[in-house]
Structure 1
Amino acid sequence: MTWLVTGGAGYIGAHVVAALQEAGMGAVVLDDLSSGFANRLPAGVPCVVGSVLDGHLVEAVLRDHRVDGVIHLAAKKQVAESVGDPLFYYRQNVEGLRVLLDAACTADVKRFVFSSSAAVYGSPPTEYITEETRCHPVNPYGETKLAGEWLVRAVAHATGTGYVNLRYFNVAGAGTPELADRQATNLIPMVFQQLALGRRPAVFGADYPTPDGTCVRDFIHVSDLAAAHVAAARRLTAHTTRLTLNVGRGHGVSVREIITQIGEVTGHPVEPTILERRTGDPARVVASVDSILRELDWNAQFGVREMISSAWTGWQLRHRKDPAPAGPAVRASHATR
């Protein structure tokens, strides 16, 4: 079996490719390298540089590499950017998916794993989010992911394709230091960056109805997420299945708790600056993970401390110096995937 991994040179994608290789599955990567790095990939994995918007290129890759299934991770994912330029996000995330599915249909590739997001839910008023929780995305990024799920489902029913839509919660950590997240757009690497700059990270709101007043999120180790993709690929190899599944730990951790643990792991206690709430930030976003355990026999193996420790090792490898003590506040974020 050979799987095309779009966005496979990115942070999550490179972990998925490594997990496929470890599981004895073949992989070929298509990545425009706008945020990915080809040197993340294992030796012997072909990397075709290009965009999923290039239908002729996608068809050629599927044909030339005799691809049996697609794992689609290539997408834009910054919430604020999506609000500022929704047309760009719909083109990259929805039109890119349409072109990819069109090419897969032409090549008669009928196994598809789609990278979705907990952003499809928006701000649900529930303690644990199940796959049946009403979807009401609150930004264009989340909208594009929900539209992508609809498109995958519609094409599957029209063509007999099997699919698994994976709704990621907050992804963190690193499988190896070399594969650590190189962009400071998620909470943990963002706090590392502020420490390195001698600044205090900001927390948006400390008056939520949560145990410590800060937002509660479900963090998932990137290696566990990669294993979920392998489990989905195996399921599709064995059966034509159609599933939409949460990928999280089923445990909530507050933003303040994460920042405290970062201080413990790094040896640099962190005192954040508390700012006003941001519009649209839900108090609690935590997955129910019963379905993925039942359907794919998958559950998370790593905890939050392991996510922070592995991310910190990767950060040190890249920067090779300790962060300076905390100083003045800057506007950091606890954005979700």
Structure 2
Amino acid sequence: MTQPSDPSIQKDVILVTGSSGLIGSAVVHKLGLLNTVIGFDRAGPPYPPEEAVCITADMTDKASIEQALAEVRERFGNRIASVVHLAAYYDFSGEPSPLYENLTVQGTKHLLEALQSFEVEQFIFSSSNLIYKPTTPGHPLDENAPLDPAWDYPKSKVETENVIHQQRGQIPTVILRIAGAYNEMGHSVPVVHQIQRIYERTLTSHFYSGDTASGNAYVHIDDVVDAIRLTIEQHHQLAPETVFNIGEAKPVSYGEIQETTGQVLYGTDWTTIELPKLLAKAGAYAQDLVGDPFIKPWMIERADDHYELNIDKAKQQLNWQPRYTLMTTLPTIIKNLQAHPDLWYKVNGLELPSELQ
């Protein structure tokens, strides 16, 4: 085994892919004080936090992955306590992209192949609750629930979970099926767009093409980081292959977000009318002709989908449970929009309307 040249190898070495991303940065901050954290990321900004040793790695390029791991071996030795694999492609528009295959699926395959010559004690993969077949209120989904990914993003997660099973070799693996992540500035794509429509008083903010009582599972980014930390700390007690749901047990409905947003912004409930799907689709297609609205025709088909998670396994085996809820955090998200609209729009990747500039 190559001898490490860096004295910090006395700490556990943790490799984080996608280390400059929203969750990746938070993981680096959390783990960087007590561990040697190596951040794999693309060249150029944004960069991983300063707590990480940054190594350039293009996860779509097998040779780049192998070269980056060769640098890890040279500087830190052959033992890696945990690989936290967060790098993946995500586009909520639903548009197809070769990056789902090249980055999420094949990138994971090449990474696992290159890790076989290391002493890897654990490989953690961030999957999604959206891989499940939707359920109905009061019937939470556990880790054995049927899978039915509806669009390219969750489909790529299912394919990658299968790749991990096939390619892991002797590396113990943990798959975290993570709910929609948010923090006090928003960051959850459907939530921030819903708030944006009400804030701007758009006509579409008053209409919905599904059951407003249907909801989704969410989880605060700090709770995701805690789940990853606990998964690493307890890796010796976990099965060689295991899966955990990571999310809040109580889903949040479209109607609840509408009502809370209206109350915080304007002191009144926001009138919401449920539209027939055919009419909603026609409206969405018409909007597509004149711009690039967030509501796409394919989303209308999924408007009734309900995701509710059973998190008992994570509670029992990881001693994890969420400390936050979206419903208690939502007023803070909205108040941050009111206080700093320029910043809120920027961090959520939204274009500030001319009348608000």
TM-score by length of 2: 0.74
Alignment correspondent of 1:37 = 46
Task: Determine whether 1:98 maps to 2:109.
Answer: yes
Q: Distance in 2 between matches of 1:265 and 1:61?
A: 51
Task: Identify the match of residue 153 of structure 1 among 165, 170, 192.
Answer: 165
Displacement of 1:26: 3.0
Task: Identify the match of residue 303 of structure 1 among 321, 325, 339.
Answer: 325
Alignment correspondent of 1:171 = 181
Alignment correspondent of 1:217 = 216
Conserved? CA contact 1:59–1:106, under 8 Å: no
Conserved? CA contact 1:79–1:139, under 8 Å: no
CA gap of 1:48–1:134, structure 2 versus 1, over 3 A, is same
Aligned runs of 1:56-205 on 2, under 5 Å? 56-63=66-73, 64-66=75-77, 67-81=80-94, 84-124=95-135, 127-156=139-168, 159-174=169-184, 181=187, 186-194=189-197, 197=200, 199=202, 202=205, 205=208
Conserved? CA contact 2:143–2:244, under 8 Å: yes
Moved more, 252-261 or 307-316: 307-316
Task: Determine whether 1:287 maps to 2:309.
Answer: yes
Deviations 1:301-324 (A, max 9, x none): 1122443255456655572589xx
CA root-mean-square deviation: 3.2
Q: Distance in 2 between matches of 1:29 and 1:203?
A: 43
Displacement of 1:121: 0.9
CA gap of 1:106–1:131, structure 2 versus 1, over 3 A, is same
Displacement of 1:140: 2.0
Opposite residue 163 of structure 1, the aligned amino acid is T
CA gap of 1:113–1:256, structure 2 versus 1, over 3 A, is same
Q: Distance in 2 between matches of 1:33 and 1:266?
A: 41
Unaligned runs of 5+ in 2: 1-11, 278-299, 346-352
CA gap of 1:233–1:269, structure 2 versus 1, over 3 A, is farther
Q: Distance in 1 between matches of 2:71 and 2:336?
A: 32
Alignment correspondent of 1:46 = 53
Task: Identify the match of residue 319 of structure 1 among 329, 342, 347.
Answer: 342
Displacement of 1:137: 1.2
Q: Distance in 2 between matches of 1:203 and 1:150?
A: 41
Conserved? CA contact 1:201–1:272, under 8 Å: no
CA gap of 1:303–1:124, structure 2 versus 1, over 3 A, is closer
Conserved? CA contact 2:197–2:205, under 8 Å: no
Opposite residue 191 of structure 2, the aligned amino acid is I
Displacement of 1:48: 2.8
CA gap of 1:173–1:33, structure 2 versus 1, over 3 A, is farther
Q: Distance in 2 between matches of 1:92 and 1:139?
A: 16
Alignment correspondent of 2:65 = 55
Alignment correspondent of 1:236 = 235
CA gap of 1:280–1:197, structure 2 versus 1, over 3 A, is closer
Q: Distance in 2 between matches of 1:312 and 1:119?
A: 25
Conserved? CA contact 1:52–1:58, under 8 Å: no
Q: Percent identity?
A: 19
Conserved? CA contact 2:216–2:306, under 8 Å: yes
CA gap of 1:290–1:201, structure 2 versus 1, over 3 A, is farther
Partner SS for 1:246:
strand
Conserved? CA contact 1:218–1:248, under 8 Å: yes
Q: Distance in 2 between matches of 1:289 and 1:270?
A: 32
Conserved? CA contact 2:210–2:304, under 8 Å: no
Task: Identify the match of residue 23 of structure 2 among 3, 7, 12.
Answer: 12
Deviations 1:94-136 (A, max 9, x none): 0111111112113332410000001211334672111111112
Deviations 1:242-280 (A, max 9, x none): 211111111021112123223444567673765554113
Moved more, 310-319 or 119-128: 310-319
CA gap of 1:59–1:196, structure 2 versus 1, over 3 A, is same
CA gap of 1:72–1:320, structure 2 versus 1, over 3 A, is closer
Unaligned runs of 5+ in 1: 323-329, 331-337
CA gap of 1:11–1:263, structure 2 versus 1, over 3 A, is farther
Higher relative contact order (CA 8 A, sep 6+): 1
